[in-house]
Amino acid sequence: MILTPLTIREKIQRFQGWKILDGKLTKEFRFANFPTAIVFVNKLVDPAEEMNHHPEIRVAYDRVEIKLFTHTEGGLTEKDLKLLEEIEALA
């Protein structure tokens, strides 16, 4: 079930830096350097595979941009919020 923007905002307010951009939950993480950024990205593989829910990931040197969206539903769902929590726990 697709969540309303209000519901999403309420649920993500305890996590800093997440925004809704173009209908996707988005956050840019910054790291000390490129290797550290890649270590973070590699940590995301297992939770994403276990959930069968894969984020959009863009790496630019010391920055990692994550975008979450449930393509099968055409919007943001509880799956996105659950993966967001997993990502935050690994950051």
Question: Per-residue pLDDT tens for 63-75?
Answer: 999 999 999 999 9
Question: Which is nearest to 40 in space by CA: 67, 21, 62?
Answer: 62
CA–CA gap between residue 52 and residue 16 (Å, rounded)? 25
Residue 59: per-residue pLDDT: 99
Q: Which amino acid is at 56?
A: E
Domain CATH code at residue 34: 3.30.1360.20
Separation between Cα atoms, residue 54 and residue 26, nearest integer Å? 13
The parent domain of residue 67 ranges over 5-90
- Binned at pLDDT 50, 70 and 90, residue 56 comes out as very high
> Tokens standing for 60?
């630019």
Q: How many domains does the chain have?
A: 1
Residue whose token pair is 């956050």: 27
Q: What is the pLDDT of residue 83?
A: 98
